[in-house]
């Protein structure tokens, strides 16, 4: 499986770091072509490819949008994602972090799906702080969960698989409509971590008897 990661900030670089350790091919890109990020990862012992956005999308089966919501919408609208799986990682928080821009009747993932109708859109990874990707992806000895939602069962299965391969505990979260609830969960995680002072060594956990 070939995976493109658009966005080379903390989330994008973190995902590249853990996914590059799997059997999947990883290419990273940003508005500058991703070369600087690829070189930085190489110094950390992680080998990924770099390419411009169009090439990265064309060569990949799965495209992870590790970009802010506004940028993800632009990327979805301006590129050809025919037959691709798009993974939306964004939490559509307001500029002042006081709430979310969309919710309850729609979600960032659903808005991105509307802009890229030829793609299969999956919501995932939005409740995992970037700092965890530098560690063992565990909190309190338990694997961090990521919740994966999509209307396409095959695309969802692929993302569940790569998330598990990366070291997370991936949970099927149903259809893409459930991104309306996963994104507020991501915002709540941010609130606990940064506003309420719990720090980033936290993660939401769904437990069962």
Domain locations along the chain: 2-195
Element (DSSP H or E) covering residue 115: helix 108-115
pTM, two decimals, is: 0.95
Secondary structure of residue 59 in the 3-state scheme: coil
Would you identify the CATH topology of the domain 2-195? Rossmann fold (3.40.50)
Determine the Cα angle at 120 with ends 114 and 121, to 5°.
Answer: 65
Asked whether residue 47 carries a pLDDT value surpassing 80, the answer given is yes
What percent of the chain is predicted at pLDDT more than 70? 100
Distance CA 96, CA 108 (A): 18
* Tens of pLDDT, residues 155-189: 999 999 999 999 999 999 999 999 999 999 999 99
Element (H, E) at 148: strand 145-150
Tokens representing residue 75 in the block: 């990327």
Tell me if 103 sits within 8 A of 183, measured CB to CB.
Answer: yes
For the chain, how long is the longest CA-to-CA vector? 48
């Amino acid at each position: 499986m070939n995976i493109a990661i658009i966005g080379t900030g903390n989330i994008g670089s973190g995902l590249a770091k853990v996914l590059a350790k799997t059997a999947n091919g990883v290419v990273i890109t940003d508005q500058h072509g991703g070369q600087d990020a690829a070189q930085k990862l190489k110094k950390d012992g992680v080998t990924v490819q770099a390419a411009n956005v169009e090439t990265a999308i064309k060569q990949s089966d799965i495209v992870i949008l590790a970009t802010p919501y506004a940028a993800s919408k632009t990327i979805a609208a301006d590129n050809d994602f025919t037959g691709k799986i798009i993974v939306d990682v964004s939490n559509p928080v307001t500029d002042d972090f006081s709430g979310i821009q969309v919710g309850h009747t729609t979600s960032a993932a659903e808005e991105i799906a509307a802009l890229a109708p030829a793609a299969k859109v999956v919501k995932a990874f939005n409740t995992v702080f970037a700092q965890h990707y530098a560690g063992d992806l565990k909190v309190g000895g338990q694997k961090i969960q990521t919740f994966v939602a999509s209307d396409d069962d095959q695309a969802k299965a692929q993302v569940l698989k790569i998330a598990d391969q990366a070291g997370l505990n991936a949970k099927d979260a149903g259809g893409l409509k459930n991104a309306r609830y996963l994104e507020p969960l991501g915002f709540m995680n941010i609130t606990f971590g940064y506003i309420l002072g719990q720090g980033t060594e936290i993660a939401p956990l769904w437990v069962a008897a």
